[in-house]
Structure 1
Amino acid sequence: MKFEMLGASWQQLQRQVARLTRRDDAEDLLHSSYLRMAEKADRAVARPEAFLVRSAVNQARDDFRRSRHPAAPQAMDLQTLQVCDRSPLQDEMLIARQRLARVKEGLDRLSPRSREIFLMHRLDGLKYREIAEHLGISMSAVEKHVAKAMQSLSEWTEGW
């Protein structure tokens, strides 16, 4: 259905919807009603202006009822909204620094070769095979160094 077929002007219909609903979004309501009417193009609407106005008013009432329902989402006041700071608390930072210092101490206690292999695996993300090729040792030796380092660090940081 084309708008030209309506007898009343769009502004007249908009004013009528605004008067009946006492809302500022009368044009939006009227537009939604027009789309609903266009979807029903297969059925003839005897009085298109009346259909549009009644449909817009009904939509406004439905919106009002939904907004009054206890489960309806409520608008948030951005002035009172508190921003959440996701950074760690000072005591958490202190504990993390102490743990890191303890791990560094534990790494210093490892033999240089075990420390090197452990860091290549954990920090650089190299696989055992890659470490073995790079250092010219067997994969079994790499596995033993990593296991030894993990065991030593586990014992050193136990209770922390």
Structure 2
Amino acid sequence: MADDGLRAIFLEQRPMLLRLLSARLGSRDDAEDALQDMWLRLDHLAGEPVAQPVAFLYRVANNLATDRRIASARRGVRDFTWHDAQPTADDLPDVERVLVARDALRVVEAAIADMPERMAIALRLFRIEGRPQRAIAEQLGISVSGVEKLLQRAYRIIHARIADTGEDVAPPYRQNDRRGHRS
């Protein structure tokens, strides 16, 4: 059947297709959108013969309804997952913790600024940029154990500076000891 004939049958069957889609999708607005999609899909079928055009249109409508229900379910799961992953008020730090963290950051930044240049570079490359110690050693022209010693001294300076402030500016989490166990 020619494309114009399929369009004519579509227009003739539109009220029944609308009822079918409304029942399958649960909404007349969604059914109207699906019918619009069907109308646009008929453009892609121009020139292709259809033996049973009425049955073909109902099959297309049924497939569209199924596709829309699947997409809606996926959208619902995605939205629920996104909503569930959002932090709650309890997950966000309170003002006091924010101020303590800012103070700790200032102390650490000051300690790094006062470090010898190679030590500060090694610390930034390792802790901030996440570079491996071997790459840092190559860049600085020293051994890996030399990088380890620079980092140990840097950590001691930072911890001493924090201890000198006399305030509790330590992070609110526990650190791992050398073996990876929580202390």
TM-score by length of structure 2 reads 0.43
Task: Choose between structure 1 and 2: higher helix proportion.
Answer: 2
Higher-Rg structure is: 1
TM-score by length of structure 1 reads 0.48
